Structure 1
Amino acid sequence: MASDAATAAAIKKAEEERKLNEWLPVTSSRDAKWWYSAFHNVTAMVGAGILGLPFAMSELGWGVGVTLMVLSWVITLYTLWQMVEMHECVPGKRLDRYHELGQEAFGKKLGLWIVVPLQLTVELGCCIVYMITGGKSIKKAVDILLHDGGPPIRTTYYIMMFGAVQFFLSHLPNFNSITGISLLAAIMSLGYSAMAWAASLHRGVQPDVEYTSRQSTTTGKTFAFLCALGDVAFAFAGHNVVLEIQATIPSTPDKPSKKPMWKGVVIAYIVVALCYFPVAWVGYYIFGNHVEDNILISLERPPILIATANIFVLVHVIGSYQVFAMPVFDMVEYFLVISMKFKPTKFLRFVARNVIVAFTMFIGMTFPFFGGILGLLGGLVFAPTSYYLPCIIWLILKKPKKFSLDWCINWACILFGASLTVLAPIGAMRQIILTAKDYEFYS
Structure 2
Amino acid sequence: MVGAGVLSLPYAMAQLGWGPGVVVLVLSWIITLYTLWQMVEMHEMVPGKRFDRYHELGQHAFGERLGLYIVVPQQLVVEVGVCIVYMVTGGKSLEKFHNLVCQGCKNIKLTYFIMMFASVHFVLSHLPNLNSISGVSLAAAVMSLSYSTIAWTASAAKGVKGNVEYGYKSKTTAGTVFNFFSAMGDVAFAYAGHNVVLEIQATIPSTPEKPSKGPMWRGVLVAYAVVALCYFPVALVGYWMFGNTVDDNILITLEKPAWLIALANLFVVVHVIGSYQIYAMPVFDMMESLLVRRLYFNPSRTLRFITRNLYVGVTMFIAITIPFFGSLLAFFGGFAFAPTTYFLPCIMWLLMRRPARLSLSWWCNWMCITLGVVLMFVSAIGGLRSIILKAKDYHFYS
Confirm or deny a common fold (TM above 0.5): yes
- Report what 1:439 is aligned to: 394
- Report what 1:22 is aligned to: none
Q: Pick the aligned partner of 1:295 from 246, 250, 270.
A: 250
- Report what 1:39 is aligned to: none
- Report what 1:144 is aligned to: 100
Which deviates further from its counterpart, 347-356 or 195-204? 347-356
Which deviates further from its counterpart, 380-389 or 336-345? 336-345
2:45 paired with 1:89: yes
Q: 1: distance between equivalents of 2:396 and 2:174?
A: 28
- Report what 1:52 is aligned to: 8
> Which consecutive aligned stretches of 4+ in structure 1 deviate over 2 angstroms post-superposition?
none
Larger Rg, first or second structure (1 or 2): 1
Q: 2: distance between equivalents of 1:127 and 1:46?
A: 15
2:235 paired with 1:280: yes
Q: Could you tell me the percent identity over the aligned residues? A: 64
Q: 1: distance between equivalents of 2:285 and 2:224?
A: 26
Q: 2: distance between equivalents of 1:267 and 1:181?
A: 20
2:160 paired with 1:196: no
1:343, distance to aligned residue in structure 2 (A): 2.3
2:362 paired with 1:416: no
2:35 paired with 1:61: no
Q: 2: distance between equivalents of 1:265 and 1:86?
A: 15
- Report what 2:346 is aligned to: 391
2:57 paired with 1:131: no
Q: 2: distance between equivalents of 1:343 and 1:359?
A: 23
- Give ranges in structure 1 of 5+ residues lacking alignment: 1-44
- Report what 1:270 is aligned to: 225
- Report what 2:30 is aligned to: 74
Q: 2: distance between equivalents of 1:88 and 1:343?
A: 32
2:264 paired with 1:309: yes
- Report what 2:141 is aligned to: 186
2:197 paired with 1:242: yes
2:352 aligned counterpart, secondary structure: helix
Q: 2: distance between equivalents of 1:61 and 1:366?
A: 31
Which deviates further from its counterpart, 397-406 or 250-259? 250-259
Q: Pick the aligned partner of 1:380 from 335, 349, 369.
A: 335
- Report what 2:212 is aligned to: 257
TM (norm. structure 1) is: 0.89
- Please tell me the residue identity of whatever aligns with 1:389: L
5 Å-filtered alignment, 1:339-378, equals: 339-378=294-333
2:24 aligned counterpart, secondary structure: helix
Q: 2: distance between equivalents of 1:81 and 1:342?
A: 38
- Please tell me the residue identity of whatever aligns with 1:89: M
Q: 2: distance between equivalents of 1:124 and 1:154?
A: 24
Q: 1: distance between equivalents of 2:291 and 2:215?
A: 33
TM (norm. structure 2) is: 0.99
Q: 1: distance between equivalents of 2:310 and 2:56?
A: 25
- Report what 1:328 is aligned to: 283
- Give ranges in structure 2 of 5+ residues lacking alignment: none
- Please tell me the residue identity of whatever aligns with 2:119: A
1:345, distance to aligned residue in structure 2 (A): 1.7
- Please tell me the residue identity of whatever aligns with 1:63: G
Q: 2: distance between equivalents of 1:279 and 1:139?
A: 22
5 Å-filtered alignment, 1:155-170, equals: 155-170=110-125
Q: 1: distance between equivalents of 2:377 and 2:109?
A: 36
Q: 2: distance between equivalents of 1:325 and 1:163?
A: 13
- Please tell me the residue identity of whatever aligns with 1:344: P
Q: 2: distance between equivalents of 1:233 and 1:99?
A: 21
- Please tell me the residue identity of whatever aligns with 2:57: L
1:342, distance to aligned residue in structure 2 (A): 1.5
1:332, distance to aligned residue in structure 2 (A): 1.0
RMSD between aligned residues? 0.8
- Please tell me the residue identity of whatever aligns with 1:192: Y
1:340, distance to aligned residue in structure 2 (A): 1.1
1:70, distance to aligned residue in structure 2 (A): 0.5
Q: 2: distance between equivalents of 1:417 and 1:430?
A: 20
Q: 2: distance between equivalents of 1:263 and 1:334?
A: 32
Size of the aligned set, in residue pairs, is 398
The C-alpha deviation readout for 1:201-239, integer Å capped at 9, x for no partner, is: 111001111111011111111111111111111111100
1:52 aligned counterpart, secondary structure: helix
Which deviates further from its counterpart, 94-103 or 261-270? 261-270
1:365, distance to aligned residue in structure 2 (A): 0.7
Q: 2: distance between equivalents of 1:276 and 1:410?
A: 25
1:376, distance to aligned residue in structure 2 (A): 0.7
The C-alpha deviation readout for 1:379-421, integer Å capped at 9, x for no partner, is: 1110000000000000000010000111110001101111101
Q: 2: distance between equivalents of 1:300 and 1:393?
A: 46
Q: 2: distance between equivalents of 1:265 and 1:218?
A: 40
1:50 aligned counterpart, secondary structure: helix
1:333, distance to aligned residue in structure 2 (A): 1.3
